[in-house]
Amino acid sequence: MFNDPVPTVFQEMTWEEIAAAARADTPIVIPVGATEQHGYHLPVCTDWVLPERIVREAGRRRNLIVGPFLPFGYRSRPGSGGGQHFPGTVSLRATTFMSLIEDVLSELKRCGFRNIVLYNWHLENSGFVYEPAYLVSERNPELKIVVIEDVNPEFTPQRLNAVWPQDFPGLALEHAAVIETSLWLYHEPSAVRTDRIAADSPQRVVNHDVVPIDTRMSTTSGALSSPVPASAEKGRLLTEWLVERLITIVDDEFPDRTPI
């Protein structure tokens, strides 16, 4: 589905190339993630590597800059990320996280960028991405900042059946399960410890949080539902849908396109 052009990646550019891209009003998309456990079988970099892969794929089809990823996010919750009690999860306080984004946005403005997209992968970051974007926008109304706190595509009945033909657990319980495992299997299968993939589920599923952490709301493995049905083909489909949604948003908000 993707064309041959190599995406333009911020950390691989020189300062002159960055300045030229900013002068051209090229949109820059910042993958916002977390460093968090992802079960027995996936690496802790999942929440910033996968969104960067999606943005890179979008950059093969649309003129944009793949921005510098943010590898740390807000605290993991048991019912959506497994919880803070797992080794390997390294989280920020909300105030630190928001200050980090605010500073990054301010620095991108100093570099000359006026069209910025915050592309958030980590569910617990929701709400804390919009606030710094709003604060920076208040001070710099010439900027346009698009906040995508939920990157998921629309899961139509057909798509649900293609990915979860048996039972859809809900997106909150999809942590380290079919979506992320399938994306890894498609993009970088060597990162998946396939011999460690196993079904798991919480003892307790509720729509509220409890502190101190109630570990029954998490699992022993850290995956909140079964990754067993994952496949590279599902990863290909999910990539297509995720890229399609991102490009649609960028095209809607920044319609002036430069062929690549």
Is residue 175 part of the annotated active site? The answer reads: yes
Q: Catalytic residue among 52, 174, 175, 200, which?
A: 175
Is residue 41 part of the annotated active site? The answer reads: no
Place of tokens 């003892």: 203
Q: Catalytic residue among 149, 174, 180, 200, which?
A: 180
3-state class of 35 per DSSP?
strand
On whether the CB atoms of residues 52 and 122 are closer than 8 A, the answer is no
Is residue 36 part of the annotated active site? The answer reads: yes
Q: What whole-number distance in Å separates Cα of residue 120 and Cα of residue 117?
A: 9
Q: Catalytic residue among 122, 149, 174, 187, which?
A: 122
Is residue 167 part of the annotated active site? The answer reads: no
Rounded to the nearest 10 degrees, the angle between the axes of helix 178-187 and helix 46-59 is 60
Is residue 174 part of the annotated active site? The answer reads: no
Q: Catalytic residue among 38, 52, 187, 200, which?
A: 38
Is residue 85 part of the annotated active site? The answer reads: no
Rounded to the nearest 10 degrees, the angle between the axes of helix 130-139 and helix 94-111 is 40
Q: What whole-number distance in Å separates Cα of residue 244 and Cα of residue 216?
A: 37
Q: Catalytic residue among 41, 52, 57, 124, which?
A: 124
Active centre residues (catalytic): 36, 38, 47, 122, 124, 175, 180
